Protein backbone atom coordinates (compact mmCIF):
# COMPACT_ATOMS: atom_id res chain seq x y z
CA UNK A 1 0.00 0.00 0.00
CA UNK A 2 1.04 3.59 -0.48
CA UNK A 3 2.66 5.30 2.42
CA UNK A 4 4.18 8.72 3.16
CA UNK A 5 6.36 8.91 6.25
CA UNK A 6 7.70 12.00 7.95
CA UNK A 7 9.57 12.37 11.24
CA UNK A 8 6.86 11.26 13.60
CA UNK A 9 8.23 13.11 16.57
CA UNK A 10 8.55 16.84 17.00
CA UNK A 11 11.86 18.40 16.04
CA UNK A 12 13.34 20.93 18.46
CA UNK A 13 16.31 23.00 17.34
CA UNK A 14 18.15 26.07 18.50
CA UNK A 15 17.64 29.36 16.71
CA UNK A 16 20.22 29.90 13.98
CA UNK A 17 20.76 26.20 13.32
CA UNK A 18 19.64 24.29 10.23
CA UNK A 19 16.51 22.18 10.54
CA UNK A 20 16.29 19.08 8.37
CA UNK A 21 12.95 17.35 7.84
CA UNK A 22 12.52 14.04 6.05
CA UNK A 23 9.79 12.75 3.75
CA UNK A 24 9.94 9.11 2.66
CA UNK A 25 7.37 7.56 0.37
CA UNK A 26 6.47 4.01 -0.64
CA UNK A 27 4.62 2.80 -3.73
CA UNK A 28 4.50 6.24 -5.34
CA UNK A 29 6.27 7.41 -8.48
CA UNK A 30 5.71 11.13 -8.08
CA UNK A 31 6.39 13.54 -10.90
CA UNK A 32 7.10 16.11 -8.21
CA UNK A 33 6.92 16.60 -4.49
CA UNK A 34 5.32 19.51 -2.65
CA UNK A 35 6.02 20.93 0.79
CA UNK A 36 3.49 22.84 2.88
CA UNK A 37 3.56 24.71 6.15
CA UNK A 38 0.73 24.59 8.67
CA UNK A 39 0.34 26.89 11.65
CA UNK A 40 -1.92 25.92 14.59
CA UNK A 41 -5.59 26.46 13.78
CA UNK A 42 -4.87 27.32 10.14
CA UNK A 43 -4.99 25.53 6.83
CA UNK A 44 -1.72 24.38 5.21
CA UNK A 45 0.06 26.83 2.93
CA UNK A 46 2.15 25.78 -0.07
CA UNK A 47 5.89 26.48 0.21
CA UNK A 48 7.59 24.94 -2.78
CA UNK A 49 7.70 22.12 -5.27
CA UNK A 50 10.57 20.03 -6.59
CA UNK A 51 10.27 18.03 -9.80
CA UNK A 52 11.59 14.50 -10.31
CA UNK A 53 14.34 15.73 -12.62
CA UNK A 54 15.55 18.31 -10.10
CA UNK A 55 18.04 17.30 -7.44
CA UNK A 56 17.74 20.46 -5.40
CA UNK A 57 15.54 23.54 -5.16
CA UNK A 58 16.09 26.69 -3.13
CA UNK A 59 13.84 29.50 -2.02
CA UNK A 60 15.33 32.05 0.36
CA UNK A 61 16.31 30.06 3.49
CA UNK A 62 14.56 26.91 2.29
CA UNK A 63 16.24 24.08 0.42
CA UNK A 64 14.61 20.89 -0.79
CA UNK A 65 16.25 17.82 -2.26
CA UNK A 66 14.59 14.95 -4.06
CA UNK A 67 16.12 11.51 -4.47
CA UNK A 68 13.87 9.26 -6.56
CA UNK A 69 16.18 6.28 -6.00
CA UNK A 70 15.93 6.55 -2.23
CA UNK A 71 12.29 7.66 -2.55
CA UNK A 72 13.04 10.52 -0.23
CA UNK A 73 12.86 14.29 -0.03
CA UNK A 74 14.74 16.38 2.51
CA UNK A 75 13.54 19.84 3.54
CA UNK A 76 16.10 22.20 5.08
CA UNK A 77 15.55 25.52 6.81
CA UNK A 78 18.83 27.35 7.28
CA UNK A 79 19.42 30.03 9.93
CA UNK A 80 16.18 28.96 11.58
CA UNK A 81 14.07 31.48 13.46
CA UNK A 82 11.31 31.08 16.09
CA UNK A 83 8.86 32.23 13.39
CA UNK A 84 9.69 29.03 11.47
CA UNK A 85 8.00 27.00 14.21
CA UNK A 86 5.12 25.15 12.56
CA UNK A 87 4.16 21.76 11.17
CA UNK A 88 5.58 20.90 7.77
CA UNK A 89 3.83 18.49 5.43
CA UNK A 90 4.95 16.78 2.23
CA UNK A 91 2.80 15.50 -0.61
CA UNK A 92 3.83 13.41 -3.62
CA UNK A 93 2.54 15.07 -6.78
CA UNK A 94 1.35 14.09 -10.24
CA UNK A 95 -1.81 12.39 -9.03
CA UNK A 96 -5.43 13.49 -9.01
CA UNK A 97 -5.73 12.17 -5.47
CA UNK A 98 -3.49 14.26 -3.22
CA UNK A 99 -2.40 12.66 0.05
CA UNK A 100 -0.09 14.01 2.72
CA UNK A 101 2.42 12.72 5.20
CA UNK A 102 1.56 13.07 8.88
CA UNK A 103 3.76 16.14 9.11
CA UNK A 104 6.69 17.11 11.30
CA UNK A 105 6.22 19.66 14.04
CA UNK A 106 9.22 21.96 14.18
CA UNK A 107 9.95 24.06 17.26
CA UNK A 108 12.74 26.63 17.00
CA UNK A 109 13.99 27.59 20.44
CA UNK A 110 15.27 31.17 20.92
CA UNK B 1 -10.36 37.41 -3.87
CA UNK B 2 -11.76 35.20 -1.12
CA UNK B 3 -9.93 32.01 -2.19
CA UNK B 4 -11.41 28.96 -0.43
CA UNK B 5 -14.22 29.60 2.05
CA UNK B 6 -15.62 26.98 4.41
CA UNK B 7 -18.98 27.22 6.14
CA UNK B 8 -19.59 26.82 9.05
CA UNK B 9 -16.36 27.34 10.97
CA UNK B 10 -17.64 25.66 14.12
CA UNK B 11 -20.49 23.25 14.76
CA UNK B 12 -21.60 21.01 17.59
CA UNK B 13 -23.83 18.06 16.72
CA UNK B 14 -25.49 15.31 18.64
CA UNK B 15 -24.93 11.70 17.65
CA UNK B 16 -27.25 10.77 14.79
CA UNK B 17 -27.81 14.30 13.52
CA UNK B 18 -26.99 15.24 9.97
CA UNK B 19 -25.22 18.25 8.58
CA UNK B 20 -23.51 19.61 5.50
CA UNK B 21 -20.21 21.47 5.27
CA UNK B 22 -19.91 23.86 2.35
CA UNK B 23 -16.71 24.66 0.53
CA UNK B 24 -16.69 27.47 -2.02
CA UNK B 25 -13.77 28.58 -4.19
CA UNK B 26 -13.62 31.57 -6.51
CA UNK B 27 -10.47 30.63 -8.43
CA UNK B 28 -12.16 28.51 -11.13
CA UNK B 29 -10.21 25.46 -9.97
CA UNK B 30 -11.01 22.05 -11.41
CA UNK B 31 -10.01 19.94 -8.42
CA UNK B 32 -11.47 20.08 -4.95
CA UNK B 33 -10.74 18.02 -1.83
CA UNK B 34 -12.08 17.34 1.63
CA UNK B 35 -9.68 16.30 4.41
CA UNK B 36 -10.04 15.65 8.07
CA UNK B 37 -7.27 16.31 10.58
CA UNK B 38 -7.02 14.65 13.96
CA UNK B 39 -4.20 14.99 16.50
CA UNK B 40 -1.24 12.84 15.47
CA UNK B 41 -2.98 11.65 12.30
CA UNK B 42 -2.11 14.34 9.82
CA UNK B 43 -4.43 15.22 6.95
CA UNK B 44 -6.51 12.31 5.70
CA UNK B 45 -8.36 12.55 2.42
CA UNK B 46 -12.09 11.89 2.65
CA UNK B 47 -13.38 12.54 -0.89
CA UNK B 48 -12.25 14.55 -3.84
CA UNK B 49 -13.54 15.84 -7.16
CA UNK B 50 -11.74 16.34 -10.46
CA UNK B 51 -14.48 18.46 -12.00
CA UNK B 52 -18.09 19.53 -11.85
CA UNK B 53 -20.39 16.55 -11.45
CA UNK B 54 -17.60 14.12 -10.45
CA UNK B 55 -16.59 12.76 -7.06
CA UNK B 56 -14.26 10.02 -5.89
CA UNK B 57 -13.38 8.31 -2.63
CA UNK B 58 -10.26 9.11 -0.68
CA UNK B 59 -8.59 7.28 2.20
CA UNK B 60 -11.39 7.56 4.78
CA UNK B 61 -14.73 7.96 2.94
CA UNK B 62 -17.01 5.93 5.21
CA UNK B 63 -19.78 7.92 6.88
CA UNK B 64 -19.46 10.85 4.46
CA UNK B 65 -21.05 11.82 1.18
CA UNK B 66 -20.13 14.62 -1.21
CA UNK B 67 -21.55 16.47 -4.15
CA UNK B 68 -20.11 18.84 -6.75
CA UNK B 69 -23.12 20.19 -8.60
CA UNK B 70 -21.40 23.48 -9.35
CA UNK B 71 -17.73 23.89 -10.18
CA UNK B 72 -17.14 26.39 -7.41
CA UNK B 73 -18.81 24.39 -4.61
CA UNK B 74 -17.96 21.08 -2.94
CA UNK B 75 -20.31 19.87 -0.23
CA UNK B 76 -19.45 17.34 2.46
CA UNK B 77 -22.37 15.62 4.17
CA UNK B 78 -22.65 13.62 7.34
CA UNK B 79 -25.91 11.69 7.27
CA UNK B 80 -25.75 10.33 10.82
CA UNK B 81 -22.96 11.91 12.82
CA UNK B 82 -20.87 9.79 15.19
CA UNK B 83 -18.41 10.89 17.91
CA UNK B 84 -15.60 9.41 15.78
CA UNK B 85 -16.31 12.16 13.25
CA UNK B 86 -15.26 14.85 15.71
CA UNK B 87 -12.44 16.51 13.85
CA UNK B 88 -11.23 19.56 12.00
CA UNK B 89 -12.24 19.45 8.35
CA UNK B 90 -10.28 21.20 5.65
CA UNK B 91 -11.32 21.86 2.09
CA UNK B 92 -8.79 22.54 -0.64
CA UNK B 93 -8.81 23.30 -4.34
CA UNK B 94 -6.23 23.39 -7.10
CA UNK B 95 -6.07 24.09 -10.81
CA UNK B 96 -5.39 21.40 -13.35
CA UNK B 97 -1.62 20.86 -13.39
CA UNK B 98 0.25 22.53 -16.24
CA UNK B 99 3.95 23.29 -16.78
CA UNK B 100 3.11 26.86 -15.82
CA UNK B 101 1.76 26.24 -12.35
CA UNK B 102 2.84 24.32 -9.32
CA UNK B 103 -0.42 22.43 -8.86
CA UNK B 104 -0.45 23.73 -5.34
CA UNK B 105 -3.46 23.20 -3.16
CA UNK B 106 -5.22 26.21 -1.68
CA UNK B 107 -6.80 25.45 1.66
CA UNK B 108 -9.69 26.91 3.56
CA UNK B 109 -9.37 27.86 7.21
CA UNK B 110 -11.04 24.71 8.47
CA UNK B 111 -14.34 23.72 10.07
CA UNK B 112 -14.22 22.40 13.62
CA UNK B 113 -16.91 19.79 14.20
CA UNK B 114 -17.73 18.24 17.55
CA UNK B 115 -20.14 15.31 17.81
CA UNK B 116 -21.45 14.63 21.29
Indicate if the pLDDT at residue A66 is higher than 80: yes
Q: Is residue A9 part of a domain?
A: yes
Strand-pair partners of B50: none
Residue among B103, B104, B108 minimizing CB distance to A43: B108
Q: Is residue A7 part of a domain?
A: yes
Domains in chain A, number: 1
pLDDT of residue B1: 62
Print the SS3 string covering chain A. Answer: CCEEEECCCCEEEECCCCEEEEEEEECCCCCEEEEEEECCCCCCEEEEEEECCCCEEEECCEEEEEECCCCEEEEEECCCCHHHCEEEEEEEECCCCCCCCCCEEEEEEC
User: Per-residue confidence at A9, pLDDT binned at 50, 70, 90?
Assistant: confident
Q: Is residue A19 part of a domain?
A: yes
Q: Determine whether the interchain pair B105/A36 forms a contact, defined as Cβ–Cβ distance below 8 Å.
A: yes
Indicate if the pLDDT at residue A60 is higher than 80: yes
Indicate if the pLDDT at residue A84 is higher than 80: yes
Residue among B31, B90, B107 minimizing CB distance to A96: B31
Domains in chain B, number: 1
Which residues, other chains included, contact A96 with Cβ-Cβ below 8 Å and sequence gap of 6+? B31, B48, B50, B56
Indicate if the pLDDT at residue A39 is higher than 90: yes
CATH number at residue B105: 2.60.40.10
For an interface test with B, which of A42, A98, A104, A105 has the most B Cβ atoms less than 10 Å from its Cβ? A98
Q: Determine whether the interchain pair B110/A41 forms a contact, defined as Cβ–Cβ distance below 8 Å.
A: yes
Q: Is residue A52 part of a domain?
A: no
Residue B105: closest CA among chain A residues belongs to which residue? A46
Tens digits of residue pLDDT in B6-36: 999 999 999 999 999 999 999 999 999 999 9
Range of the domain at A15: 1-47+83-110
Amino acid sequence: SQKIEQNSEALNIQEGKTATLTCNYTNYSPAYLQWYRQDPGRGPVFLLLIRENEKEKRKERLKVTFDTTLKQSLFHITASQPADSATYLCAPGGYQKVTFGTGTKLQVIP
Amino acid sequence: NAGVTQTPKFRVLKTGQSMTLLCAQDMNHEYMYWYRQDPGMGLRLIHYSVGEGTTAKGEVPDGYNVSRLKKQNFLLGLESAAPSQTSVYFCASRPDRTPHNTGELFFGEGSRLTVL
